[in-house]
Amino acid sequence: MKTLKRILLGFVIILSAAALFWFGRFKVEDISAHKKISDINSYMKTVDDIKISDNVNVVAIGEAAHGCKDFQELKLSVLKKMVKDYDFRAFALEADYGECATINRYIQGGEVDIESIVKTFSFPIYHTKQMEELISWMREYNSTVSEGKKLRFYGFDMQNPETSYEFLKNYCISKGLTSAEEFDKNLDCIEKGEVSPESAKAVIDFVTGLKEKIGDIDVANADDRDAVFELNTVRQSMETFTKRDESYYTLRDGDMAGNIEDILDIEKRIGSGRIVIAAHDGHIAKVGNGYTSMGAVLSNDLKEAYYSIGTDFWKVTDNIKVLEKKKRSIQSFISADPLAAQARFAKDKYYLLDFADIKEGSSLYSLINSPLRMGSLGEGYTWMMRIVESSYRPKALPVSLYDAMIFVYEGEPIEIIQ
């Protein structure tokens, strides 16, 4: 009996020591990363200080956590800066084209209340006061300028094709492209949420045929433009549906990059040819984490015309969806990013760092060219993240991912409008 007790006690001691070592090393990382960088204050800027070259026509603003209010506010701050100083006239969001087309109609003067229009989004992370403020600002801006100067709102994602159903049905029937019966027969699986590999293929064939019937369009005509784009994103959605392995991420990001380039082409014909895009950091980064990111495609295709602004937090209290459950949770995380830790020395505890400004040979230059812990939170929380902390704070070289970054010392959670 005594021998058994000794064995159990030894086992407990070993487990305790292992746990102490495991979690202790994360704490050591946090303490080390929190030290002040000697020359950081001389490089701190704000959104108002952003400078881009004349050949940049796509500015991307990322978010390290979807459920953080501060990153949602940055979308509007960057958009205002680009509209005011660089004549940008379009904003594109990581959301489905169909729902964003509805929001665009509101921005052009449609008569709907703002709370209803925000709930057009399929993703609840956009049912916020911050998104209301962005949309309201674009609508108000449009009321003060001529037709040729108005702003437009686009989506470049394809995960919720059902948001295109009603518009596409009315459009295709009114143009004599199909009948109500034929449309419902082919697309009801989307409306009912009953998509299978077989029905997905049928949808792809059907919408491809409809797009061919429409043929060439005048992109200045909003309805024609929206119809062609929404048929395309419905097809993309069905194609990504058939990919449930790692290739899904590359396919989706590739499609989103292609959609942005198509939007850019439209804006070159009807606007200033410049757009602000907003998505998670992982999408706008010029190097993907294990797959080819949207930002990697855009950087390769657009070269210096693509300008990417990543974000990070030191500590964030995040409103995050619980993995595989229909509920959300408020959780706090620390990134261990030494650059984000410096935000405590900045005014309002946030700052922008333009990597092109940093002098070679400085301590800061060495840091941004070294692998750093950086926060990255999507829409999926599990308790395992507390054990495998590298799952939400992977290491990466900041300069390889972005042209600039905005760091927030302590981010607050979004409040979802019910």
Q: How far apart are CA 350 and CA 412, in angstroms?
A: 13
Q: Report the pLDDT averaged over residues 60-78.
A: 98
- Number of C-beta neighbours around residue 224 at 10 A: 16
Query: According to the model, what pLDDT value does residue 104 have?
Result: 97
Tokens coding 327: 């509920």
Query: According to the model, what pLDDT value does residue 247 have?
Result: 87
Residue 342: closest CA among 38, 69, 47: 38
Cα 413 to the chain's mean position, in Å?
16
| 369 belongs to a structural domain | no
Q: Report the pLDDT averaged over residues 196-207.
A: 94
Q: Name the pairing type of β-strands 395-396 and 372-373.
A: antiparallel
pLDDT digits (tens, 9 = 90+) for 243-280: 777 789 999 999 999 999 999 999 999 999 999 999 99
Query: According to the model, what pLDDT value does residue 112 have?
Result: 87
Q: Report the pLDDT averaged over residues 21-44.
A: 75
Task: Check whether 17 has a pLDDT greater than 60.
Answer: no
Q: How far apart are CA 251 and CA 249, in angstroms?
A: 5
175 HSE (CA, 13 A, CB side): 18
SS3 label, residue 106: helix
Task: Check whether 295 has a pLDDT greater than 70.
Answer: yes
How many distinct structural domains can be found in the chain? 1
Query: According to the model, what pLDDT value does residue 303 have?
Result: 97
| 98 belongs to a structural domain | yes
| 418 belongs to a structural domain | no
Query: According to the model, what pLDDT value does residue 33 have?
Result: 82
pLDDT digits (tens, 9 = 90+) for 82-101: 999 999 999 999 999 999 99
Query: According to the model, what pLDDT value does residue 230 have?
Result: 97
Q: Report the pLDDT averaged over residues 163-171.
A: 95
pTM over 0.75: yes
| 322 belongs to a structural domain | no
Angle at 388 between CA 382 and CA 394, to 5 degrees: 105
| 109 belongs to a structural domain | yes
Task: Check whether 2 has a pLDDT greater than 70.
Answer: no
CB 51 within 8 A of CB 354: yes
Q: How far apart are CA 238 and CA 160, in angstroms?
A: 10
Q: Report the pLDDT averaged over residues 24-52.
A: 84
Tokens coding 145: 């300028």
| 413 belongs to a structural domain | no
CB 296 within 8 A of CB 396: no
Q: Report the pLDDT averaged over residues 29-45.
A: 87
| 39 belongs to a structural domain | no
Q: How far apart are CA 170 and CA 168, in angstroms?
A: 6
Task: Check whether 14 has a pLDDT greater than 60.
Answer: no
Task: Tell me which residue range forms the domain holding 75.
Answer: 69-274
With bands split at pLDDT 50, 70 and 90, how would you rate the model's confidence at 38? confident
With bands split at pLDDT 50, 70 and 90, how would you rate the model's confidence at 16? very low
Q: Which residues pair with 152 in a beta bridge?
A: 90
Q: Report the pLDDT averaged over residues 159-183.
A: 95
Q: Which residue has the higher pLDDT, 23 or 148?
A: 148
| 199 belongs to a structural domain | yes
